[in-house]
Structure 1
C-alpha cells in the first residue's frame, strides 16, 4: 500500500535521528533515498525542503550534507578533500570532481576549509601520522609556531611548523628520529602558505 507524504517524512526524520545518534553525522541524500524507498534524489530533496519549512529539520545552505534535527546544531559538515600532502606531493587548489570528507561540525569555524591526507612521517612528534587527515582553514599567513600547509618553490606541498626568523619564513619538521628533517625549509618568493591546520582527523 502506497505511503502518504507524511509517512515518508516521518521515516526520514526517524532515519536522520538514528544515523546522527549512531555515527555522529547525517546520512547522504542517496542513503536517505535508499532507506525510505525513494529512487530520485530530487524527491528526497523535496521532502527535506518540506521538513525544513515545517521546522522539523535544519539545513545549512553554505555546507554540503549539513542536516540536523530541529533545535540541534549540525553535527557534521562535508569539506573538500583536495589532495595528499607531504614532500613531493602537490597541494591541489582546484579540481573538477572534488571528493569530500564528513567531519564533526565542532571542528570547523568561520572561513573556507579543506582537508588533505597526510603522507609520510615528518610530523609524527606533533602527533600527525601517515594516513591522517589535516583539516585546514584557508589563509595565507599564520603565527609563529602554528602548523601550516605551504608550498615551496611552487613545486610541492608540505605540512610543517611555521617559523618566522627576521624576514625569513621557515618550515620545521617534527621527527627526532630523522636528522635529515631537522633542517628547516625556507619559503621563497615562489612559495606561499596555503592554510593553517586547525585539526587532525583520524579514522580508527
Structure 2
C-alpha cells in the first residue's frame, strides 16, 4: 500500500511522460506535491523504488524507470517509461510513512539523536518502527530517532527510547526539538529564544544549557511522540 503522497508523485511522473514526453524536475515535483524541500521527493522516490513501482537505472545519471502503477491508476492505462527526473546525489532515507494497518504507520528510524553530548547529524534510515497513526499529522512529514543519553530524563525521555519527530524548521519557546548545531551536530533539547540567541535546554541538572547564536542552530523537527520498549 502506498501513501497519498507516493501515489500523487507516481501519477505526476506518469502523466507528464504521457503528455509531454519528459518528466517533471525535482523542483516541479516538490511544488506539485506542496512539499517544503526536495528531500521529501528523494524519500518518496526511494519508497516507490523499494515497493517495485519504479527503479533507478544504473550507469545513467538521474534516470528512473516506471514499472507499474497502483490498481487505481492502472485502470487509467499504463505504459512503462524511462524518466530523467533528478536523482539525489547521496543515499536517501525510505519514505516517511508506509501504512501497516489502520491504526499504525511505519516510520524510518534515522539513526540516533543525542540527549546528552551532540552527535553527528542524522543522515540515513537504519530500520523502521510502527507508530500509532494518532501521533502523526497527515499534512506533515515525520521520522523517528533513537535517543542516546539521559539529558532529557526529567521529561520522561530515556536512553533507548524512540522519539517521533515532525519535520519543521521553526519552533516555539518550550518545544522539544531536533537541533542541528553548526551544520554537523544533532541534539534533542528544549528550545528557547532569547533575543538573537538560542538556548538549548536539557531536562537533567547534570547538563548545562547551551546558548548559541541564531545562525548556529537549525531546527530540523519537533517532538510529537515517544515509543518505549520494555
RMSD of aligned residue pairs (Cα, Å): 2.8
The 3-state SS of whatever aligns with 1:106 is: helix
1:182 aligns with 2:208: yes
Which one of the candidate residues 137, 141, 158 is aligned to 1:112? 141
The corresponding residue for 2:67 is none
Count of aligned pairs? 140
The Cα shift of 1:167 comes to 1.8
Q: What is the CA-CA distance between 1:141 and the residue it aligns to? A: 0.6
- For the pair 1:173 / 2:173, whether they are aligned, the reply is no
1:89 match: 119
Report the CA distance between 1:173 and its aligned residue: 0.4
> What is the CA distance between 1:83 and its match in structure 2?
1.1
SS of structure 2 residue aligned to 1:142: coil
**What is the Cα deviation at residue 182 of structure 1?**
2.4
Unaligned runs of 5+ in 2: 1-50, 53-70, 73-95
In the alignment, which residue of structure 2 is the partner of 1:149?
178
User: Residues 111 and 126 of structure 2 are in contact (CA less than 8 Å); yes or no, is this contact kept in structure 1?
Assistant: no
1:139 to 165, 168, 192: 168
Instruction: Measure the CA separation in 1 of the matches of 2:161 and 2:97.
Output: 22
What's the TM-score once normalised by structure 2's chain length?
0.54
Bigger Rg, structure 1 or 2: 1
Residue by residue over 1:90-137, the C-alpha shift from the partner in whole angstroms, topping out at 9 and shown as x without a partner, is 2324x3x65211111111113000001000000001110000011000
Give the alignment's TM-score, normalised by structure 1.
0.61
Q: CA deviation at 1:156?
A: 1.1
After TM superposition, list the pairs within 5 Å mapping 1:66-77 onto structure 2. Answer: 66-68=99-101, 74-77=102-105
Moved over 2 A (4+): 182-185
- Once residues 142 and 126 of structure 1 are traced to their aligned partners in structure 2, the CA distance between those partners, rounded to angstroms, is 18
